[in-house]
Amino acid sequence: MRLDPPTDKPGPPAWQLALIGLLLLGGAVALMQWAQTLSSTRGVMGKPGMFPHQGPITSVREIADEGVKANLLAEDVVLADVEIDQVIGERVFLISEDGQSVPVVLFGELTDRQQDHAVTLEAGQRIRIYGVIRMLRSLEEIMDAEALAADEAQKLRDHAIYISAMRVVPLPIRERVEIPRVITTVSPLVESADPKALQAREVVLDKVEVLELLGDYSFLVGDEDAKVPVALFGEITRRQAEDVTEIRVGQLVRIYGVIRLLRSQQEIEDMLMVSPEVAARLRGNAAYVSALRVVLLEPSS
């Protein structure tokens, strides 16, 4: 076998080399600018959903409507007064309204977070629910996660979506129909003469502005006249499965949460996970919002 000596092949033309060099240079400049932006921006990390500003769903009828189910995924739900139609297993039940029903699933985080009310649910009971719409992809998914028996899981076969509950509140008779315990503005959290009366009340703050980032998991919302700290804890990062995003100063947000009290500077440091200097500035705050869900309404300015 004869092997011919290698022949020299001409390299790429000079104009191609120049073009490649320009592309590499442009990419390096863009990467440096992006890195500078990241380094100059301090954000509070959570997993808030990036949704357009729409109010929460407030009736079972809106959820059960066959024509809109595909558009409801990840939408927020605040059901003021609904009836438990049937309990299926320990953490799954059906709610009903005008003959239409929707499944609700209580995940492990809920039982850990709700220390104010034991969630003991029975058919016929009326409750208030804060949650998020999720797709019911398969019965096996619910069976595995919630340890449902096969015959119990079959009761969910005709449902395409369910409510993933963040908080469930059993309603005494006097609280039915209305939600007198829900705080919807920042002012009562600051102006209340009896802060202890606010403990464990629900909060739905819509279109409030982020005024200041206090630490890695807390921030301040409101205006110059009334401000309240908000804390994002580990549960929110597990429950809000949408894209990771950052909360920045100037953003408008919607917050679903529960009011907790702050009794000392040390408790402010521990509960809000802030420095002693920041805790000293917040000493005048008697309460904070423990966030169950945070939704960004507009990009930060």
pLDDT in tens, 265-281: 898 998 898 999 999 99
- The count of C-alpha atoms lying within 13 angstroms of the C-alpha of 284, restricted to the half-sphere facing its C-beta, is 6
For the cut 60, the answer to whether the pLDDT of residue 235 exceeds it is: no
Distance CA(217)–CA(126), nearest Å, equals 34
- Residue 219's DSSP bridge partners are 213, 230
Query: Which one is predicted more confidently, 123 or 242?
Result: 123
- The whole-number pLDDT of residue 288 equals 93
Confidence of residue 13 (pLDDT cuts 50, 70, 90): low
Q: What's the one-letter identity of residue 50?
A: M
Ranked by mean pLDDT, which of 29-38, 160-169, 190-199 comes out on top? 160-169
The pTM assigned to this predicted structure is: 0.57
As to burial, measured by CB atoms within 10 angstroms (0-12 exposed, 13-18 middle, 19+ buried), residue 1 is exposed
Confidence of residue 87 (pLDDT cuts 50, 70, 90): confident
User: Which whole number is the average pLDDT over 182-186?
Assistant: 88
For the cut 50, the answer to whether the pLDDT of residue 39 exceeds it is: no
Cβ atoms of residues 19 and 26 within 8 Å: no
Measuring CA to CA, how many Å separate 109 from each of 113, 119, 165, 245, 267? Answer: 6, 12, 10, 21, 23
Cβ atoms of residues 231 and 213 within 8 Å: no
Buried b / exposed e over 247-272, threshold 16 CB at 10 Å, is bbbebbbbbbbbbbebeeeeebbebb
- Residue 231's DSSP bridge partners are 218, 290
Distance CA(122)–CA(85), nearest Å, equals 9
For the cut 80, the answer to whether the pLDDT of residue 153 exceeds it is: no
